[in-house]
Structure 1
């Protein structure tokens, strides 16, 4: 398994790099098919965020879905420990799911369990959730990195992802693995661009786009 540790707006100490590699190597017990892990350490220069000045994001690539976890703390070691705990929990959930699906029991899909949900306040909930998650992701982003400047709101980052059509249940599963509150996907049944998002408690909502 390849482990790449890199810094963003900061230098990564060799001692920290070895600490990360040693800890992450042990996580292969949950998934022996892990191909690589990327660890990115970001330094926040804003003095108001001194208690969360170091952010660590871990991305795990295997033959299955991508699994991601991140955390912020006053130092990189603390941030890494929290992010690693989140990642280990998600790897364990993924392993449990594989064991259930390969066994005799077939669990009720999340899509079926949430089919009764109505669309009340759907657009408002999705907009609020998306805004919160994007704000957290782009916090402290320098203006020189891929910024698109036009009149009106500032577009900080633009991403293009390849997507294979998937079921609603699979989209919910992958949303949990990356730790986001929403997930954009192409619905396999309707072939429509769709967004599943987390609502209050354990409820989920879905938005589909028609042209």
Structure 2
């Protein structure tokens, strides 16, 4: 029988929208100065504004353009309307492609779900299904080299705590090892170092170097 479970990104999308409804439009997130209203608008803009979406990951004028479009979207739609459109999923096109859903979209919704959870006093999830854990680990392995590109002066290994899964992200004579569950590792790699529950092993120099590096996009 075919698997009837929804795709991983759809699970996180639905759970995040449920949480948005619980905490309301003005709740904090881990993103400095961002409310849940702004985060919902950001997620909608990413999928539905072909002009502004590429600017979300660019600095300078493109970033300011995306910011203006996000604010305009917040002004046009009340929070329930933003959530209704977000729940509906991406329109036909790029964001419906399977690899997009499994990789960047799963990352986007998982990380932002945790941005809201942890800023509002909710503990890390200890009950993620095994298939979700494996999907997140695949994404850690796929994205870790890019997300750690600013790391200099030490190598980096990443291990899934409690399992034999381990990858070398950056080779070096001296290396630090980042260890945790796949979701926590993903949060760390996306720059949520203060919130992520991970361990860092290695020489004092290697550990300090990892801790002082800005990970993420």
Point out the structure with max Rg over C-alpha.
Answer: 1
Higher relative contact order (CA 8 A, sep 6+): 2
Q: TM-score, normalised by structure 2?
A: 0.24
Determine which structure has the larger helix proportion and give its number.
2
